[in-house]
């Protein structure tokens, strides 16, 4: 049987399948390469040649009854080990850098053993497609015209559960970035399992929320919930929907806080503040679980600050631009009350005085709680300000604050105990259920 008839039969078996780019190993089997090029009609072809197969490209062109295509490229090396295969393959991929990896097919039919092993390993790691031509044999003789195109089974179809277990471990350890990477790879390789794509989306949404990339998190969460969820996520659907709503609520709050006309009223609204407080608090607990105490303390500190800012806003005070003259007019005894708080903490009395420009400086965390104490705000009714003073000073020694060392776990626990006291009082003051709030901002466990 001549080659043209073999090609015709092979094309019938391949059908309408086409390839954008094809990588072939040089060998003595010109028929194999010519069949692939003739049937798949790739726009680009790369030949990995040895000094002994330098004329392989020309022979393949002759088989096809044509001149070598200008879009064909070749790389020649000895390929004594798989490392050399990787080097030459990398050069080809870099030259085709405009193509997605899954647009490139690697033929594993021919070539030396190091070439075949190297190409197979690289295709697996890099996400390239792999193919080979299978033929029938009779009495150890090749049967012309029996060639058919085979896609090797992806090991992920068997071992994907091991990768999925690792992704789940990373997810539950709050490493959402690497969890998404594995789930995304599984989704591409094991296409019949639709759950991997959904788990990748959830991991991405949580990673975005953790970094307060709220617009992206809202979009990703909406994309996830627009699907028919797999069983593992369907049982958590109500929580996921509540978290989607919380992200959107938080986005609206951030926009209102950036508007000078609505900042004060938004900050005074506990319903508007709860999503931000929940995001900070839950994020801190996740960092604590990872033993990242400095980062956790930073987030707890911001929670502590936010609660004081909220309560000050209910008194008409915006911490970043305080107008204390109006407040003192409404409460004539405020100056004396504030000085009494200063004395109780051992501070030199300064009172609530403007600076040289006649303006009041932004209110710091401790000064905010001191002012709330002077206002007899219910948030600090049962709180010892000396505890806040002492614990905040420990946090300030962190390298992520103003210091040059890490916080110890003991120091962290002492600081958090004060934050917890204020949180409990905050929910009593705002008449919200802390348990419901905490549940809404805890990320799903798989």
Q: What contacts 85, CB < 8 A, 6 or more positions away?
A: 48, 79, 114, 115, 117, 118, 119, 122
Among 135, 152, 169, the domain boundary falls at 152
Q: Please answer whether residues 49 and 76 qualify as being in contact, where contact means their C-beta atoms are separated by less than 8 angstroms.
A: yes
Q: Please state, rounded to an integer, the average pLDDT across all residues of the chain.
A: 90
For residue 48, list its beta bridge partners.
25, 75
Q: Same domain, yes or no, for 127 and 161?
A: no
Q: Please answer whether residues 263 and 318 qualify as being in contact, where contact means their C-beta atoms are separated by less than 8 angstroms.
A: yes
Q: Same domain, yes or no, for 276 and 421?
A: yes
pLDDT at 239 over 90: yes
Q: Same domain, yes or no, for 136 and 174?
A: no
pLDDT digits (tens, 9 = 90+) for 263-296: 999 999 999 999 999 999 999 999 999 999 999 9
* Owning domain of residue 92: 3-152
| pLDDT tier at 396, thresholds 50, 70, 90 | low
Mean pLDDT confidence for 139-164: 77
Residue 134 is part of a domain; what is its CATH number? 3.40.50.10770
- Own/partner contacts of 337-343, CB < 8 Å, gap of 24 or more, are 337/373, 337/374, 337/375, 337/376, 338/370, 338/371, 338/374, 340/374, 341/370, 341/373, 341/374, 341/385, 342/370
Give the count of beta carbons closer than 10 Å to the beta carbon of residue 405: 9
Shortest CA distance to 204 belongs to which of 236, 170, 246? 170
pLDDT score recorded for residue 401? 65
Q: Same domain, yes or no, for 374 and 413?
A: yes
Shortest CA distance to 58 belongs to which of 39, 22, 30? 30
123-137, 224-238, 308-322, range with the lowest pLDDT: 123-137
Q: Same domain, yes or no, for 287 and 372?
A: yes
Q: Same domain, yes or no, for 392 and 334?
A: yes
Cα dist from 311 to 33, 65, 368, 405, 421, whole Å = 75, 84, 9, 32, 16
Q: Please answer whether residues 13 and 4 qualify as being in contact, where contact means their C-beta atoms are separated by less than 8 angstroms.
A: no
End-to-end CA gap in the chain = 59
Number of domains present in the structure of the chain: 3
Q: Same domain, yes or no, for 306 and 386?
A: yes
Please report whether residue 243 resides in a domain: no
Strand bridging mode 141-142 / 137-138? antiparallel
Largest CA distance in the chain: 109
pLDDT digits (tens, 9 = 90+) for 66-123: 888 888 999 988 877 788 888 888 899 999 999 998 899 999 988 777 788 888 888 8
Q: Same domain, yes or no, for 210 and 126?
A: no
CA dihedral 153, 156, 161, 165 (to 10 degrees): 170
Q: What share of the chain is helix, strand, coil (3-state, %, to 5)?
A: 60, 10, 30
pLDDT digits (tens, 9 = 90+) for 15-69: 999 999 999 988 888 888 999 999 999 999 999 998 888 889 899 999 899 888 8
Q: Please answer whether residues 171 and 198 qualify as being in contact, where contact means their C-beta atoms are separated by less than 8 angstroms.
A: no
């Amino acid at each position: 049987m001549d080659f043209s008839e073999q090609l015709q039969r092979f094309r019938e078996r391949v059908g309408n399948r086409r390839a954008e780019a094809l990588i072939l190993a040089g060998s003595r089997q010109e028929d194999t390469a010519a069949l692939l090029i003739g049937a798949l009609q790739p726009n680009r072809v790369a030949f990995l040649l040895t000094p002994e197969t330098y004329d392989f490209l020309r022979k393949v062109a002759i088989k096809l009854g044509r001149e070598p295509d200008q879009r064909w490229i070749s790389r020649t090396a000895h390929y004594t080990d798989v490392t050399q295969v990787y080097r030459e393959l990398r050069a080809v991929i870099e030259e085709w850098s405009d193509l997605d990896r899954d647009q490139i097919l690697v033929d594993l039919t021919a070539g030396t053993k190091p070439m075949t092993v190297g190409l197979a390993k690289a295709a697996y790691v890099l996400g390239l497609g792999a193919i080979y031509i299978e033929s029938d044999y009779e009495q150890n003789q090749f049967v012309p015209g029996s060639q058919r195109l085979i896609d090797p089974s992806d090991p992920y179809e068997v071992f994907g559960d091991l990768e999925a277990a690792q992704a789940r471990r990373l997810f539950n350890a709050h490493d959402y970035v690497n969890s998404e990477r594995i789930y995304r790879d599984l989704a591409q390789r094991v296409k019949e399992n639709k759950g991997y794509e959904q788990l990748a989306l959830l991991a991405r949404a949580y990673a975005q929320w953790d970094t307060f990339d709220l617009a992206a998190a809202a979009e990703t969460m909406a994309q996830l919930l627009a699907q028919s969820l797999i069983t593992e996520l369907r049982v958590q659907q109500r929580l996921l929907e509540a978290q989607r709503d919380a992200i959107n609520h938080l986005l609206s709050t951030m926009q209102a806080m950036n508007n000078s006309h609505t900042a004060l009223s938004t900050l005074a609204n506990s319903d508007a503040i709860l999503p931000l407080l929940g995001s900070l608090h839950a994020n801190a607990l996740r960092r604590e679980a990872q033993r990242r105490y400095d980062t956790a303390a930073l987030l707890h500190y911001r929670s502590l600050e936010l609660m004081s800012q909220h309560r000050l806003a209910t008194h008409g005070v915006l911490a970043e631009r305080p107008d204390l003259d109006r407040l003192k007019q409404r409460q004539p005894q405020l100056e004396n009350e504030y000085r009494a708080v200063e004395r109780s903490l051992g501070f030199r009395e300064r009172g609530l005085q403007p600076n040289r420009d006649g303006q009041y400086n932004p209110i710091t965390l401790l000064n905010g709680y001191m002012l709330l104490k002077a206002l007899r705000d219910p948030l600090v009714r049962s709180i010892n300000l000396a505890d806040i003073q002492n614990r905040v000073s420990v946090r300030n020694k962190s390298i992520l604050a103003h210091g040059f060392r890490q916080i110890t776990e003991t120091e962290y626990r002492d600081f958090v105990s004060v934050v917890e006291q204020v949180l409990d009082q905050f929910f009593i003051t705002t008449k919200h259920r802390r348990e419901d709030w905490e549940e809404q901002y805890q990320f799903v466990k798989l």
